[in-house]
Structures are given as structure tokens and as C-alpha cells.
Amino acid sequence: MLKTGGHIDYNTEVITVRHVSKSFGENHVLRGVDLKLHNGENLVVLGRSGTGKSVLIKLISGLLKPDSGTIEVLGEHVDELNEKELQQLRLKIGFSFQNSALYDSMTVRENLEFPLVRNKRHLSRAEINHEVEDVLDAVGLLNTINQMPSELSGGQRKRIGIARTLILRPEIMLYDEPTAGLDPITCIEINGLINEVQEKYKTSSIIITHDLACAKSVGDRIVMLLDGRFERQGSFDEIFDTDDERVKPFHDYNFIT
């Protein structure tokens, strides 16, 4: 099923990447890329492994600096911010990591409380409990609140990771390979959750993936990273309506068995 999405404000850009290049030695990962994320949009970045998709996320969050070009996030020029200013900006950005990044020694409740207690110290115990239960309910896992991560399935851990990200109410969500390593049914559930998060929390999101089923399900707009550049963008069907030999095998691998 193609993504239909909610309201997207195409007049408001929450992320603007201009002419950004990044190399590691002789490996030219990004070669002067331009990218815009609009308010309320789910933007999918498609590409093969090693093409620079995750590097892009690190540049946007200020974990890496571009060799050239500029990156603006929520009106801030990321490369001009000091460390304290970067930390404040990152509180408005939610990261959903590929491995869920949960603390194994903490219960689900404690995992979710951790960012709240660290960043919103004025909250009362009742307010913390409410926030934890609210985001757990949003991802459909309120019943796991006292469990350990080791007791959860891969899909459940992924959902808890998203819940922990949501608990600070970020304006932007960055998903790194959200369906990696999951079975097909769980992938469908995670795709549905990404769309639900967009609808309920009014987030603007970048979804990094090589999973075309995920791209088709969650993307309001899709861009394809090829040879260090965004060569194609548009709807899912527009992306793959091409004879480009770099694109066709990508589609065939995902959908022809």
C-alpha cells in the first residue's frame, strides 16, 4: 500500500542541506548533496549499504562536520553551533538506532525514565510515570513496563527504542534502518508505527533504509542516494520508473524472488 500521509507544510523546511560533501580519505561518500525535509513529512533516503546514508544522519545531528556545504536544522546552522548549543538542538531530534540502543541492565520503565530524568529534572514522579506510560501505550507495549530488554523480541525492542526517543517529544525523528533484522510481519508493524508516530506526534522524519517495502509504506517522498549524490526523488513509482541500470537491480532484489 502506498503512503498517503497527513498534512505536510511544503512551505516550511525543518532541515535544509546545501551542497554538502564528505570524504574519508580517498572515499568520497557525499558529493555535493542537497536535501530538504518539510514540516510534517516522512522522507525516505534509499541507498545501498556503504553509500553514505548513515553519514548523512551524523552530519545533520552535528556528530560529523561536512568538508563543504551547509546544514540547517530547525533554523540553526549546525556547523556554527558550539557543543552546548548542539546538545540543546539534539533534544529536539529523536534518534531511532538500528540496534534499539536499550540499556540491558535496566527495565523498560527505567530505560524510558533515563532521558526524562536527565533532561527534564523539574518533573515530578507522577509526571514521569504519566510520560512513560503514555509513550509505551503509543507503541502498544504498556504491558512490558517492568520487563528487561532480554525478555523482549527484536520487534518489541525496536518499539521500546522508538518510545524512548519519543518521550522527549522531538520535532524531528531520524530512523536508521528501522526494519533491519526483523521478520516480514514485524516489519509491517514497525512501518505502521512510523506512520502512527508521524500522525500522533506531528513529527518530521528522515527514514534511512534499503528496504523497499518500508520505503513504499512510510515515505511521503523518497530520494535515492547513488554514487554520492541524490540522483532520483519523488514518489515510489517515480523513483523506479527508469531504465537506469543502477536502480533496476535494487528493485529486482527486493521484489523478485
pLDDT in tens, 177-193: 999 889 999 999 999 99
Give me the domains of the chain, ranges plus CATH numbers.
1-92+173-257 (3.40.50.300), 99-169 (no CATH)
Q: Which amino acid is at 111?
A: N
Instruction: Show Cβ contacts of residue 205 under 8 Å, excluding neighbours closer than 6 positions.
Output: 37, 41, 42, 43, 172, 173, 174, 175, 194, 197, 198
**Contact predicate 149/108, CB 8 Å:** yes
* Nearest-10 Cα torsion for 61, 64, 68, 74: 10
226: closest CA among 65, 45, 5?
45
pTM of this structure: 0.91
Q: Quick check: 6 pLDDT over 70?
A: no
| The dihedral sign for the CA sequence 233, 237, 238, 244 | positive
Higher-pLDDT residue of 100 and 43 is: 43
Backbone angles phi and psi of 169, in degrees to 5: 55, 60
Beta carbons within 10 angstroms of residue 107's beta carbon: 16
What digits encode the pLDDT tens for the residues 217-239? 999 999 999 889 998 889 988 98
CA distance 200 to 40: 11
- Rounded (5°) CA angle 206-218-13: 40
Please give the pLDDT value at position 100. Answer: 74
